Amino acid sequence: MHIAITGNIGAGKTTLATQLAVHYGWEILMEAVEGNPYLKDFYEDMPRWSFNLQIYFLNSRFEQVVKVRESSRDVVQDRTIYEDAYIFAKNLFESELMSPRDYQTYRRLFDNMLELVRPPDLMIYLRAGIPKLQEQIRKRGREYEKAISETYLANLNRHYEEFVAGYLAGKLLVIDVDRLDYATRPDDFQTILRQIDGILEEFRLRA
């Protein structure tokens, strides 16, 4: 089974993916943030580095797609290949932070890759408002993320909501995390587990 955690920057994807991997014994695939050679440059000069960064993420995400296809274990993934194109690259293009030429090149590559992509069995979208995102970003203290603007986060949220509203490829669970703190409050984590357990039981009954 392939479970994917989606959501904006600072929504809590990595934390939840890690907790679920431990709880269920799933294999975890993390987003390529640590050691990413473009992130710092990107946040300092988005128009210059947007294409480079998106290609880096797209490649790393496609590598994960291959791993999921080849794995015999249940897998939980931190962010999906869909978000790279339908949310982040699209937002950069519409915000004039990626040129039309680069965006078209990127989308052609993504569309070719998509022929080999199988959607996750369960996609979990973590919905978070701007104050929650900013608080989480501030807490983790990544120096390069200090340059992220409220407008940038708001635009990403808008694209996420549009993506989720039209997502029909598989089972979708939307969790509003504004009032949740599953990292430190066990009851909040249990609330999420009950929802996931119900969906996993549906899968078992269908199998």
- Residues with a known catalytic role: 78
User: Among residues 145, 116, 133, 147, which one has the least CA distance to residue 177?
Assistant: 133
User: Among residues 83, 79, 86, which one has the least CA distance to residue 64?
Assistant: 79
C-alpha 145: how far from its chain's center?
16
CA distance 99 to 92: 9
CA distance 37 to 34: 9
Give, for 46, the enclosing helix (H) or strand (E). Answer: helix 46-70
- Phi, psi for 115 (deg, rounded to 5): -60, -25
DSSP state letter for 85: I
Strand partners, 28: 76
Measured from the Cβ of residue 22, the count of other Cβ atoms closer than 10 Å reads 10
CA distance 62 to 167: 20
Strand partners, 174: 125
